[in-house]
Amino acid sequence: MSAHGTALERLRILGIGMGPQHVTPEVSDALRECDAVVVFDKSATDGAHAGHDRDEQMAVRCRIAAEHGVPVVLVPDPPRDRRGPSQSTGHEYRRAVVDWHGARTERILAGLRAEAPAARQVAILAWGDSSLFDSLVRLAGRIEQQTGCDWNVLPGVSAPQVLAARHRVVLHRVGEPVHVTTARKLFDDIAAGQRNLVVMLTLPHTLDDLAARPELDDWQLWWSANLGSAGEQSLSGRVREVIGDAKVARETARETDGWVMDMFLLRAPDEHGNVL
């Protein structure tokens, strides 16, 4: 046993898309080689933001591990300080996220010490793909610093991929870029000139914020919630025509699955009024 109290030699960050149907053969093979899977338990989170919004994702991760015959180490997810500015460029926000990553790292190692000290190869399952708005790669780097373990990443199906497939669209117009952003940065990005945006990490009031912007009425919205789940919802159309239906569909997804995670593609019409 090493000085950090575990036998950890290799950490694997494995993308699982929206669930078992998106687990690639490469990820499946890697998972079967692991001695344990670490899964964050958000229902055990202490603090004001404790809740069950992502319990379904925890259950999916546990089911994937069980299907591959790998034991699960459940780790209570530490709370993140959300009292600072909401803008992702704010110093306080960045500090809060860094502190949260540190706390998550400590809980992973504590969980392994307590429940799987002999595990040499350990996996953490990334919802979607770990290259987009996910902290697991940063956590792996921290764990390497503390333990000296090797680590690698295997990609998963990303939410923007599934969004585009559901709506049968290309995420950008011919010869033009697509800007991937978050709901917190959406209107700053539009003000800066972005006209074709994939918006992730939406907030409960994001659709209301869109509805309150009449200058976006003629923009096209391709929206989906809970991609890959039983409560999946999708719709598309001009913002002014579909925003009300999207709000209803969002609540339908929540009622069906017990949680909701939505995202969308938002595009301005060109000089001829076309959105495709």
At CB < 8 A and 24+ separation, what contacts does 243-250 make?
A: 243/207, 243/210, 243/211, 244/211, 246/207, 246/221, 247/207, 247/208, 249/223, 249/225, 250/207, 250/225
**pLDDT tens digit sequence for 76-115:** 998 876 655 444 456 787 888 899 999 999 999 999 999 9
Contacts of residue 176, defined as CB under 8 A and 6 or more positions apart, other chains included, come to 196
pTM of the complete model: 0.87
CA 65 from chain center: how many Å? 19
Phi and psi at 169, nearest 5°, equal: -130, 160
Contacts of residue 244, defined as CB under 8 A and 6 or more positions apart, other chains included, come to 211
Q: Quick one: pLDDT at residue 271?
A: 83
Sequence ranges of the chain with CATH classification 3.40.1010.10: 10-154
Q: Quick one: pLDDT at residue 92?
A: 81
Specify the DSSP class assigned to residue 77. P
Q: Quick one: pLDDT at residue 80?
A: 76
Q: Quick one: pLDDT at residue 3?
A: 63
CATH of region 159-267, choose from 3.40.50.360, 1.10.10.10, 3.30.950.10, 3.40.50.1370: 3.30.950.10
Q: Quick one: pLDDT at residue 211?
A: 97
Residue 155 has pLDDT above 80, yes or no: yes
Q: What's the average model confidence in pLDDT over 20-33?
A: 97
Sheet holding 121-126, edge to edge: 72-76, 36-41, 121-126, 10-15, 150-154
Residue 223 has pLDDT above 70, yes or no: yes
Q: Quick one: pLDDT at residue 241?
A: 97
Sequence ranges of the chain with CATH classification 3.30.950.10: 159-267
**pLDDT tens digit sequence for 171-217:** 999 999 999 999 999 999 999 999 999 999 999 999 999 999 999 99
Distance CA 46, CA 103 (A): 12
Q: Does domain 10-154 have CATH number 1.20.1560.10?
A: no
125, two tokens = 């399952």
Q: What's the average model confidence in pLDDT over 124-132?
A: 94
Residue among 251, 272, 271 nearest 262 (CA)? 251
Q: Quick one: pLDDT at residue 197?
A: 98
Q: Which of 34-48, 90-104, 125-139, 236-250 has the lowest mean pLDDT?
A: 34-48
Q: Quick one: pLDDT at residue 84?
A: 52
- 3-state class (DSSP) for residue 264: strand
Residue 68 to residues 27, 54, 108, Cα–Cα distance (Å) = 11, 22, 21
**pLDDT tens digit sequence for 56-75:** 789 999 999 999 999 999 99
CA 43 from chain center: how many Å? 17
Q: Quick one: pLDDT at residue 91?
A: 77
Residue among 154, 140, 156, 155 nearest 10 (CA)? 140
Distance CA 89, CA 272 (A): 35
Residue with more model confidence, 241 or 270 = 241
Residue 47 has pLDDT above 70, yes or no: no
